[in-house]
Amino acid sequence: MGYYVKVEKGVNIFVEDINSTSNKTILFIHGWPANHRMFEYQFNHLPAMGYRCIGIDIRGFGKSSKPWSGYNYDRLADDIRIIIDTLGLEDITLAGHSMGGAISIRYMARYSGYKVSKLALIGAAAPVFTRRQDFPYGKTVEEVDKLIEETYTDRPKMLSDFGDIFFARYLTKSFIDWFHDLGLAASGNATAKCLVSLRDEDLRNDLRLINVPTAILHGKQDKVCSFDFAELMHRSIKGSILIPFEYSGHGLFYCEMDKFNEEVAKFIG
């Protein structure tokens, strides 16, 4: 079932809500530059295991409104809070992939984990996506600036090049085309401004404020958010568990989908 939630004047967020009668709810936050449809192979299986699966398209992406502004982590976390309140959600597992993981971390810190009982960070773009003087991991600022420039000059090629490093398994051309189309469904403006947020935001202090059971699921072959990120998050989040995916890149939810779905179900219970 699909519907919209208004998060501010003129901005409506698309929500896909599957198996809505279940009381075991997972709220999925997709990564850049895709939308909720990236979790198709979770939505095919987890509801049959008894879970309510809710996927949203963050502002600017998929079927959601595409406003000019509001792409910093604080505003994106605010959107999640409004969705949780509007839907009356309780005792949820918040599951965020890549930038969606980063937004989920900001939500946990900004709202003290409001209504969230468990957190799943999936190839999360955290603690910091770009290198700093005191943080030698991640992409360089120049690499992200190049992605921003390419977004404004040849977004289809940028998305194609990014897709080439996303997965660590054989993909059919049909799947590659499908995944590429997910990125094209976003606005160019949102695609670029979220890159600015990825480049500039810092979640190191946020991680220390997380106080719910947390699973860190991360591909050992991730070329977007290196496995170093997973180890750093694991050390920063008290009581977290680290679940490595030996044969996966950034798209672990597809590279090892059976293991991924099983691990998510085992973590939630």
| Cβ–Cβ under 8 Å, residues 105 and 74 | no
| Cβ–Cβ under 8 Å, residues 135 and 228 | no
- 250 labelled catalytic: yes
8: burial class by Cβ within 10 Å (0-12, 13-18, 19+)?
Answer: middle
Of the residues 98, 104, 197, 226, which is catalytic? Answer: 98
- Tokens 């509007």, residue located: 86
Please provide the DSSP assignment of 206-221 as one string. HHTT--S-EEEEEETT
Query: Which residues pair with residue 120 across a beta bridge?
Result: 95, 215
Of the residues 45, 222, 226, 248, which is catalytic? Answer: 222
- 104 labelled catalytic: no
Of the residues 30, 97, 218, 250, which is catalytic? Answer: 250
Q: What gap in Å lies between CA 95 and CA 214, rounded to an integer?
A: 10
- 180 labelled catalytic: no
| Cβ–Cβ under 8 Å, residues 31 and 43 | no
Length of the chain: 269
Active site residues: 98, 222, 250
